[in-house]
Structure formats: C-alpha cells, structure tokens
Structure 1
Amino acid sequence: MSDAARSRGARSETKPDRPSDPRISVVVPALNEARNLAVVLPELPEVHEVILVDGGSLDGTVAAARQALPGIKVLTQTRRGKGNALAVGFAAVTGDVVVMFDADGSADPAEIPRFVEALVAGADFAKGSRFCAGGGSADITPVRRAGNAFLNGVVNHGFGTRFSDLCYGYNAFWTDLLPMLDLPDPAIPGRADGRMLWGDGFEIETLINCRFAAAGVRITEVPSVERLRIYGDSNLHAVSDGLRVLRTAGAERRRARTLQELRPRLPLATRTDAAGGSSTDGRVAPRRVRVAS
C-alpha cells in the first residue's frame, strides 16, 4: 500500500471521486480591510467563487470589495472572531476546493494554483508553510517566529506530525472534508458574556490542523511567501492569541484521545474517525500523518 493510501486510512475506500479540474471557492474573512481588498481582490486568478465574510466593518469594506470584484459573494459573520468568519464562509461554498485567504495583502494570490495542484496530486489538505523549502515571510516578527516554533513542537509531539508552520492561515482543502472539522454552527448565537465559542478565534488554523491530523488525512505542505500587510494594523495579538493557540493544542489532543477511546464502544455502522469522517467497516484512520514538502 502506498504512503498516500496509508495516510488516508479507511476513508480512502469511501471517499468520493474528485475532479482533476476542481471548482475553487476562495473564502476571505475581513474586518476593516477596505483599502487592502481594493488591491488584493483584482489580483485573484479566475475561480468558481470568492466569498467575503465581513465582521462588521466600519470602513466600507463591503463596498470596496464589490467595486474591486463585481460578482463577489458577501456574507456577514454571525458572531465575532476569524474562526466564526471562516465557518460562515465554509458553510456557503459550492466549489470542490476551498482556499482560506487573508484580506490584508499578506497572501499572494498567484500561489493559489500551487495549492490546488497539491490537492489534485493526491493531498487532502494543502497546508501553507513559510518555513519549508521555497517559503518565506516579509512580515513575521522574531517573537511570533519563536512562538510559532514552540507551538509547532507541541502539536508535532502530540499528533505525530511534522508541521513546519502551524500558525499560518493560507491553506486549501477538498470541501468534502468539511464535516470532519465539526466547527461551531454559525447559527448558534454568541455568548452573553462576550467570550468567543471554541474555534471562533485566531486558534482556528491550529484547530483545523489538529482535526485533520487526528483524522489521518493526507497533508502536504506547500511553500508560501508571506507578504507585508499593505495597509493598517493586524488584528492578531501575539501573546493572548498565542496562549489561546496553546490551549487549543492541548484541548484538541484531549478531544482526539476521547474520540479514539469511544470508537471501540460504538457499533461498526456508526463508528467515525477522530474528526467525524465515517468508516463503513469499522476501521479507523491512523493517527500519524505524513507531511510532505
């Protein structure tokens, strides 16, 4: 059996056929990014759809997006946080592949075909990396670089992966994998105390990485060069969001263990893999993931 088949485990027998020329859905979460979108959206390659998820911007983000890219789909996120914005966008995609794309200008639109090529070549999840061969960053600070390296080590140890860049939001995956992520339902109202639901914040990239790793899907790292933000300041807070990511790594490891322990107690017809993917014969996907550059 090939490495790819092993990494996909039991799902490989039941996974639907995937097209060689997939329809691409680009999901763009945005909060007060009008000036950046005016520059970035016209640079996007021709795709099936672009979905902007606005977080309640006050700077004309929606109008700027529509002017820059007529035909763009515009949604309003239901709670707050980048994770909720992505969940809202994911729920609306109609393509075969979803690309997570930041609105601040840091993601290079010309790299989208590279992610899609990795998926068509056999990957389930194309994970952008600034730190594998061919990647780079014009924006990361020494503090964020050190924090990312530490968090990489935590997740790689806990999930048996070899991620080189955990906290990077430029990723793509097949939309048939969306149920595996089990993200908070966008229709659920926000908490009365103002706290974000689990998965609604900047921990979303780590959560996605961990759940795909726990599911045993084929993950391929794709080299990506992070550009400088064009205008404005980042909504990321290195210390507080870094701690949230650390808590996410621990919580997702406990979640994966709990689901692994529950599986043998379930009837064969209802067993699921570690992130929600069903297995008709009761076998489970392997926990270790091969990450290839």
Structure 2
Amino acid sequence: MNTFNFRKNQKFVSFIIPAMDEEATLETLYNGIKKQVELLGYDWEILFIDDGSSDSTWSVMELLAFRDREHVKAYRFPANKGKADALALGYQVAAGNIVFTMDADLQDDPQEIPRFIEALNQGSDIVTGWKRKRHDPWHKVLPSRVFNAVLSKVTGVSLHDHNCGFKAYKKEVVKAIPMYGDMHRMVPSLASFKGFKTTEIEVEHHARQHGVSKYGVERLIIGALDTMTVGFLQRFRNCPMHFTGKIAAYLMITAVALFFSAGVVALSGGEASSLVIIGALSTLSALIVCMQGLISEQNVYRGMEEGREFLLADTINGSVYVPAKQFSQDNVRERDMLSAV
C-alpha cells in the first residue's frame, strides 16, 4: 500500500454510502467508485452503512468488505435511523482528506468523481451536484424545485439542488458541521455560517433501475420545518434574544392595548373581564418568551466561553481551528498575524 502525505496532496478519499434495501446496486457502485479513484491514483475507502434494511443489503456489504478488506468497511444500524444518522457515523469514522457522500441507488454516476475533486482542488470547500435533468416522477421533482428555491432565498446560499446527495467535502467541513434530524440536505447552508465555500456542478442523473424511492409526502413538511430552522440559525444563532425579544415586545403591546380597551369598556359600563384575562395571558406569555430568550443568550455566551465557536485561520501547512474567544479587541494584532502566516 502506498503511503501519502494526506495533508499536503489530499490523496486519500472516503466515500460514505448510506443504504436501505439496495441489495441489487451495491456491487455495481463499488466497482464504479474503485475504477475512478484508481485511475486518479488516489488511496480510498468506502464506508457502507446499512440503515435498517429488510433485504440482503447487509449480506452484500459484508461480502464486499470481506473481498476488499483494505478499502471497504461496513456498518449496520439494527433499525432505520435516517440518513442524517448514517452520515453522522460516516463523518465520524471517515479517514480521507476528501469525503464524498453518494446515494446507493446508482442514480449518482461515479464517473463524475474526478470533476468533484477538480472543483475542490480549485478552492472550494464543498462541491454539490446539480441534477438539471432528473429522471424522477413530477410529484418528486416539482416539490423539490420549490423547496430549493425557498431555501436558497431564506439562507442566501443559492443552489439549484440542495437535495442532491452527491457531494464532496474537504475533511474540515464534515468535522465541523453537526449532523442530526434531517439536516443532511442543509449542509451547504450550515457550512456557510462557518465561512466554507460551496460550488455547484451539473451532474448526470440516471433513472432508478432497482428498488423504490424513499421519498414521501412527509418530506415536504420536514423540508419546510428544516428551512425555518436554518433561517433562524442564520439570523439569530448568536443573538436569540433579538428574535424572542421582538415576540415579547409584540405580546406586551397587545397586552397594553387590551388593558386600555378593558378600561374604556369598564368606564362605559360594559363587561371587560374577558379583555383583562386575555391581556394578563398576553403579559405572562411575553415574560415567558423573554425569559426563554435570556436563557438562550446565556447558552450562547457559555458556548463562546468554552470555545465552541471557531474561526478558520489559514496556515502554511493547511487549516487550523482557533477558538473565537482568543480574538478579543485586545489581541486583534495577534489575530492578523496568525491569518497572515
């Protein structure tokens, strides 16, 4: 086995392949990946992750790992955990300086791999595929296009296809981005918070030959909720009180208006108890929302103190993460010197 200086030449590539009930596609996908990376002269590994399959997917993964122990590792969840959990496991164990994610259904073409690597070598931190011509039913394509347009507008990360599972990352990205829930589609948006650059390239999309799509109506609802989450994180992740404070202010204005109305009604001899009750509830709600904002602010402050927020500083031999708390007003010169190294 050849030995590479991975940090300098990025010659080690990891492929994370989550799969559920894809027994018919895995060996073909393995052969396609193997062919491309060996033509490039890269060292490589494939991390197959069985996400609770009910067919022989795990058996196929076991066989491939047995045949090629040097390059293939297989992991299995006893029950379906979701794609984000599978990717989180892959991110944790991936050893490559470049990390690919690909769907297991053969709709992503391994022949595109060199183009992704070329885009990374040109300075991108993330390269995501864009399936301009999709071989999917309209009821899957249309909602996806609406979702992509809304997400691009909300987050400011303009991509044609946030949903595309065919992506390549520098290792620093996957180690810095938390993966949970259904956030695997939001990685470029989440990565933008930390200053990572995303490039989109058009890729060939093949029609599904085996198995069935895992896409359902519930994905529309989940996508809308995730878009709201990312939009909130983009604007208020470091200042949640700016969000909750506005809500509390509107509730207090409503309460004052209700109490004023109740006073007018009472002076007119009318029954104002309902207005007073609603006004009191609005006041209580404002206090609760305000307290929640203060608690969130405290959590953000603690996170800053513990150095969980990071800035990316360039160095001669690659990239390092430096705790943001080191960059106070008192040592701006030190920061500038570090950035200039």
Give TM-score, length-normalised by structure 1: 0.74
Q: What corresponds to 2:81 in structure 1?
A: 80
Give the match's secondary structure for 2:46.
strand
Give the match's secondary structure for 2:53.
coil
Q: Relative to 1, partners in 2 of residues 1:21 and 1:270: Cα closer, same or farther, differing over 3 Å?
A: closer
Q: Relative to 1, partners in 2 of residues 1:277 and 1:258: Cα closer, same or farther, differing over 3 Å?
A: farther
CA distance in 1, matches of 2:116, 2:92: 21
Q: Relative to 1, partners in 2 of residues 1:215 and 1:277: Cα closer, same or farther, differing over 3 Å?
A: farther
Q: What corresponds to 1:93 in structure 2?
A: 94
Q: Does 1:272 align with 2:302?
A: no
CA-to-aligned-CA distance 1:33-77 (integer Å, 9 cap, x gap) = 111112221111335100000112232213323445623100123
Q: What corresponds to 1:214 in structure 2?
A: 193
2:211 to 228, 232, 244: 232
CA-to-aligned-CA distance 1:221-272 (integer Å, 9 cap, x gap) = 02111111221111221x2112211110101211233323279957688372
2:236 to 230, 240, 258: 258
CA distance in 2, matches of 1:153, 1:81: 24
Q: Does 1:143 align with 2:139?
A: yes
Please say if residues 58 and 76 of structure 2, whose CA atoms lie closer than 8 Å, have aligned partners that are also in contact. no
The residue type paired with residue 223 of structure 1 is E
Name stretches of at least 5 consecutive residues in structure 1 with no aligned partner.
1-16, 185-198, 284-293
2:68 to 67, 70, 81: 70
Q: What corresponds to 1:28 in structure 2?
A: 17
1:161 to 138, 144, 157: 157
Name stretches of at least 5 consecutive residues in structure 2 with no aligned partner.
1-5, 38-42, 241-296, 312-320, 330-341
Q: What corresponds to 1:244 in structure 2?
A: 222
Q: Please state how far the C-alpha of 1:273 moved relative to its aligned partner.
A: 5.5
* Higher gyration radius (CA): 2
Q: What corresponds to 1:181 in structure 2?
A: 177
Please say if residues 269 and 282 of structure 1, whose CA atoms lie closer than 8 Å, have aligned partners that are also in contact. no
Determine what percentage of the aligned residue pairs are the same residue: 22
Q: Please state how far the C-alpha of 1:102 moved relative to its aligned partner.
A: 0.8
CA distance in 2, matches of 1:208, 1:281: 26
CA distance in 1, matches of 2:327, 2:7: 22
The residue type paired with residue 172 of structure 1 is A
Please say if residues 162 and 186 of structure 2, whose CA atoms lie closer than 8 Å, have aligned partners that are also in contact. no
Give TM-score, length-normalised by structure 2: 0.64
Say how many residue pairs are matched: 244
Q: What corresponds to 1:205 in structure 2?
A: 184
CA-to-aligned-CA distance 1:104-148 (integer Å, 9 cap, x gap) = 1111011111111111110011011113xxxx32x2222222212
Please say if residues 106 and 227 of structure 1, whose CA atoms lie closer than 8 Å, have aligned partners that are also in contact. yes
RMSD, aligned α-carbons: 2.9
The residue type paired with residue 184 of structure 2 is E
